[in-house]
Amino acid sequence: MSESLTNDQESRRLIHQELSTNILVEAGAGSGKTQMLAERMAAGVAAGVYHVEHMASVTFTRKAASELRGRFHLALEEELSLSAQDSERSAHVQSALSNLERFFAGTIHSFCARLLRERPVESGVSPGFTELDETEDMELRQRGWRDFVTSVREAGDPDMMALLQAGIRPTDLDSAFATVSANDDVEFPPGEAERPDPKPAWEALD
């Protein structure tokens, strides 16, 4: 048996059995991470270590959350069939299946929104707020960017005038704005170098 196969089997055993240990799993796409997570959660429920009302599965997309919820349901059904001879484990799984709607599976945005709605007074946020989806967020950012460009052009902002004089249109900066917006945790320092003189390059080109 190859070493890589042995390591894989040991990793899967840890995921299934080390239910009280925090585990970080790194693996390539299609390697079965979602299925292993569903099976780990179901095994924890059957062992009485986890309770669905105290569980939260946070994903990046709604599609992934829906898939995980479905696999978790199937994993619980599988655990129920395997626990037929163990009344305690069977009772844990049946209780989870009866209260599956109390299990949270969703995006980080919906998870945070749920916390805010549960504590509206402490958070100072109206419980009637709604979260933006990806499309709405992109449209809102693009509208804000267009409004900003229009306002600084009308105000004769010197930086904007310098860009226009250099032959750079505001639309040429759309992709840069999108990159900065999508990585708001990254600093993009402007640098301290002097602006190069384009005249020698133009003369050489001529």
Supply the mean pLDDT for the chain: 87
**Model confidence over 11-51: pLDDT tens digits?**
888 888 888 889 888 888 888 888 999 999 999 999 999 99
Distance of alpha carbon 69 from alpha carbon 106, whole angstroms = 9
**Model confidence over 112-134: pLDDT tens digits?**
988 898 888 898 888 788 877 77
Distance of alpha carbon 127 from alpha carbon 120, whole angstroms = 6
Nearest to 50 by CA among 24, 21, 12: 21
3-state secondary structure of 155: coil
Confidence (pTM): 0.62
Distance of alpha carbon 66 from alpha carbon 103, whole angstroms = 12
Mean pLDDT value of segment 106-112:
88
Distance of alpha carbon 112 from alpha carbon 55, whole angstroms = 14
Q: Using an 8 Å Cβ cutoff, are 107 and 59 in contact?
A: yes
53: Cβ contacts below 8 Å, ≥ 6 apart:
99, 102, 103
Distance of alpha carbon 92 from alpha carbon 111, whole angstroms = 25
Distance of alpha carbon 56 from alpha carbon 103, whole angstroms = 7
- So what's the pLDDT on residue 161? 87
- So what's the pLDDT on residue 183? 84
**pLDDT higher than 80, residue 165:** yes
Which ranges of the chain would DSSP assign to H, the alpha helix? 3-17, 33-46, 62-82, 87-98, 108-118, 120-123, 134-154, 158-165, 174-182, 199-205
**pLDDT higher than 80, residue 5:** no
Distance of alpha carbon 42 from alpha carbon 20, whole angstroms = 13
**pLDDT higher than 70, residue 87:** yes
Q: Using an 8 Å Cβ cutoff, are 74 and 121 in contact?
A: no
- So what's the pLDDT on residue 197? 83
Q: What percent of the chain has pLDDT over 70?
A: 98
